[in-house]
Amino acid sequence: MTTPLLHGLPPIIDDGARVLILGNMPSVMSLGAHEYYAHPRNAFWRITGEIVGFAADGPYEDRTAALTAHGIAVWDVLRSCRRVGSLDSAVEPHSMVANDFGQLFERHPQVTRVFFNGAAAEKNFNRLVRVVPDLPYRRLPSTSPAQTMRYADKLAAWRLIGEL
């Protein structure tokens, strides 16, 4: 049986984006819902909601609008890959295709900082992406429920995204 080929989501970005948050590849639940970080135990919306000031359980459109209003964009490193389940460790390495970051940075030169949501995003960005502007890049703890770090520690690390 062939491992399914998965395709990611379009970026959440507008012309006011100054910060780019990169995950690795959306979970099965996120792909099914067509929403970033749709798993209820993923802390992304809770953390960004606390930092930016919106209800983590509000409508998806309101949450994404709050991020873009604060200059925060969201995307993933991978455009497509083969994976069973949602774990980054289950991605077949030779199947990974990166998103077109050259085009993204060309269209959005106002992006001045990039944050990785976890180690897999950082690793795959460094491995696959060739067009890399001279910007500060920083890995943050993964918001995934698989990352066992305490919520308070994750939140403290993620506060950097709000320091514009």
Predicted confidence at residue 85, as pLDDT, reads 67
Q: Which domain holds residue 116?
A: 5-161
Predicted confidence at residue 124, as pLDDT, reads 95
CATH number at residue 146: 3.40.470.10
| Tally of domains in the chain | 1
Give the pLDDT band of residue 87 (cuts 50, 70, 90).
Answer: low
For the segment 114-139, the average pLDDT, to the nearest whole number, is 93
Question: What positions carry a catalytic annotation?
Answer: 42
- Checking if the pLDDT of 131 tops 80, the result is no
For the segment 120-145, the average pLDDT, to the nearest whole number, is 92
Phi-psi region of 58 (alpha: psi -120 to 50; beta: other; left: phi over 0): beta
Give the Cα separation of 132 and 10 in Å (integer): 19
| Residues 31-40: contacts with CB under 8 Å, at least 24 apart | 31/6, 31/7, 34/9, 35/9, 35/60, 36/9, 36/12, 36/64, 36/74, 37/143, 39/86, 39/144, 39/145
Computed over every residue of the chain, the mean pLDDT equals 92
